[in-house]
C-alpha cells in the first residue's frame, strides 16, 4: 500500500511500521519516566510518614524500617521496567520479529518442499510400478505377417495370386481364424469378399472407401489400433503393406513356394540379422499341389 503526501513524498508500509514502532517506543519511555517520578514521589511520602512522622515505625521486616523494604521492592520493579524498555524492546523489536518469522517460515517452506518432493517421487515410483505391473499382466500382442512367396519372392501379378495350393489356403485359414486380418486396399479387392469369421481391416488413403463387412483404416498404425485387443493380429498383404510392416511385426508365417514366377508384387527380403527361423514344415509337390513348398515361422530377434 502506498500513501501519497501533499509534498509528494511517499510512505510505504515499511516506513509506516517504523513510525508506529518509534511512537510505541516513545510511549514506553514516557511511561518509564512517569513510573520513575511516581517512585521518587511515593518514596518521599513514605519516608516522611515512616521516618519523619513515625507511622508504622514498629513494622520492621528483616530488621529494616518498612519504608526501606517497600522502596527496595519497588526499585526491583523499576529496574525490570527499565530492562524491558532499554534491553528487551531494543533487540526484540518488530524488525527482529519479522526476521525471525521470515527465517522460520523459510525453514518451514523448505521442509514442506522436501516432503512434497518426496511424495511426488513416491507417487511417480508407484505410478511407474503400477504401469509395469499392468504391462506385464497384459497378454503380449504378437503382430504376425502371413504370406506365401516364391523362391524369387514373387507374391502376385495383376492383383491376383499366381498359384493355387490348397494346403496353404487351409494353413492360412487355420492360423487367421477368429483374428483380425489387416490388408491393403488392393489385396482386399483381389478377394471375392471379406474373409468370414475374421475382423477385416482394410488400409486405404481413400476416406470415402466402403465395402461390406470391413473396417477402414487410414494407416497401418490405425489398423493396429483397431486390432489392439487381438493377441495375434495378422497382416495378410499385399506387397506394400508387407514392406511397411516388417519393422513392427513380431513374427512371420511364410509359405515358401519352391519355384520362380513372373510377378509384379514381391515379398521383402527377410534379413537374417533381424529374423530367426523357429519352425519349418516341408511339403513335396503332388497331384493336388503343382509346386513343393515349405511352411516357415520366423521370429524377430
**Footprint of ligand NAP (CB under 6 A):** 147-148, 155-156, 159-161, 183-187, 190, 203-206, 218-220, 236-241, 244, 265
The residue (of 203 and 296) whose beta carbon lies closer to ligand NAP is: 203
| Beta strands 293-300; 251-257: pairing state | antiparallel
Q: Which three cell numbers stand for residue 270?
A: 527377410
For ligand NAP, which is the closer residue by CB, 220 or 296?
A: 220
Q: Please state the closest distance from residue 262 (CB atom) to ligand NAP, in A.
A: 12
The closest of 213, 218, 220, 235 to 144, measured between CA atoms, is 235
Identify which of residues 98 and 280 has a Cβ nearer to ligand NAP in the complex: 280
Torsion, Cα 89 95 100 101, to 10 degrees, reads: 120
When the beta carbons of 65 and 184 are compared against ligand NAP, the nearer one is 184
For ligand NAP, the closer CB: 124 or 225:
225
Minimum distance, C-beta of residue 140 to ligand NAP, in the bound complex (Å):
25
Say how far apart CA 47 and CA 55 lie, in whole Å.
Answer: 10
Q: How far is the CB of 185 from ligand NAP (least distance, A)?
A: 4
Q: In what order do the strands lie in the sheet with 154-157?
A: 160-161, 154-157, 265-266
Name which of 179 and 186 has its Cβ closer to ligand NAP.
Answer: 186
Work out how close the CB of 231 gets to ligand NAP at its nearest, in angstroms, rounded to a whole number: 22
Q: Shortest distance, CB of residue 183 to ligand NAP, whole angstroms? A: 6
Q: Min. distance of Cβ 113 from ligand NAP in angstroms?
A: 49
Name the minimum Å distance from CB 263 to ligand NAP.
Answer: 8
Residue number, 67 or 246, with CB nearest to ligand NAP: 246
Amino acid at each position: 500500500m502506498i500513501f501519497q503526501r501533499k509534498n509528494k513524498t511517499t510512505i510505504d508500509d515499511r516506513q509506516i511500521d517504523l513510525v508506529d514502532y518509534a511512537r510505541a517506543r516513545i510511549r514506553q519511555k514516557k511511561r518509564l519516566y512517569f513510573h520513575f517520578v511516581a517512585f521518587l514521589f511515593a518514596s518521599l511520602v513514605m519516608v516522611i510518614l515512616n521516618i519523619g512522622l513515625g507511622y508504622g515505625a514498629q513494622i520492621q521486616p528483616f530488621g529494616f524500617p518498612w519504608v526501606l523494604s517497600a522502596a527496595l521492592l519497588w526499585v526491583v520493579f523499576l529496574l525490570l521496567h527499565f530492562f524491558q524498555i532499554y534491553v528487551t524492546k531494543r533487540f526484540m523489536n518488530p524488525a527482529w520479529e519479522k526476521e525471525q518469522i521470515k527465517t522460520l517460515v523459510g525453514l518451514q517452506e523448505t521442509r514442506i518442499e522436501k516432503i512434497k518432493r518426496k511424495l511426488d517421487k513416491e507417487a511417480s515410483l508407484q505410478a511407474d510400478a503400477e504401469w509395469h505391473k499392468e504391462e506385464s499382466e497384459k497378454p503380449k500382442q504378437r503382430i504376425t505377417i502371413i504370406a506365401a512367396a516364391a523362391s524369387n519372392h514373387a507374391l502376385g501379378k495383376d492383383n491376383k495370386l499366381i498359384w493355387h495350393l490348397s494346403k496353404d489356403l487351409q494353413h492360412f485359414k487355420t492360423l487367421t481364424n477368429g483374428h483380425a486380418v489387416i490388408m491393403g486396399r488392393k489385396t482386399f479387392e483381389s478377394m471375392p469378399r471379406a474373409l468370414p469369421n475374421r475382423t477385416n481391416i482394410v488400409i486405404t488413403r481413400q476416406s470415402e472407401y466402403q465395402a461390406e463387412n470391413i473396417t477402414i483404416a487410414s494407416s497401418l498404425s490405425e489398423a493396429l489400433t483397431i486390432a489392439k485387443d487381438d493377441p495375434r493380429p495378422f497382416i495378410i498383404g499385399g506387397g506394400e503393406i508387407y514392406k511397411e510392416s516388417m519393422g513392427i511385426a513380431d513374427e512371420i508365417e511364410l509359405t515358401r513356394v519352391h519355384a520362380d514366377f513372373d510377378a509384379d508384387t514381391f515379398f521383402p527380403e527377410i534379413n537374417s540379422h533381424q529374423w530367426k527361423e523357429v519352425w519349418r514344415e516341408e511339403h513335396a509337390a503332388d497331384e493336388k499341389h503343382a509346386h513343393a513348398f515349405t511352411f516357415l515361422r520366423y521370429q524377430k530377434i
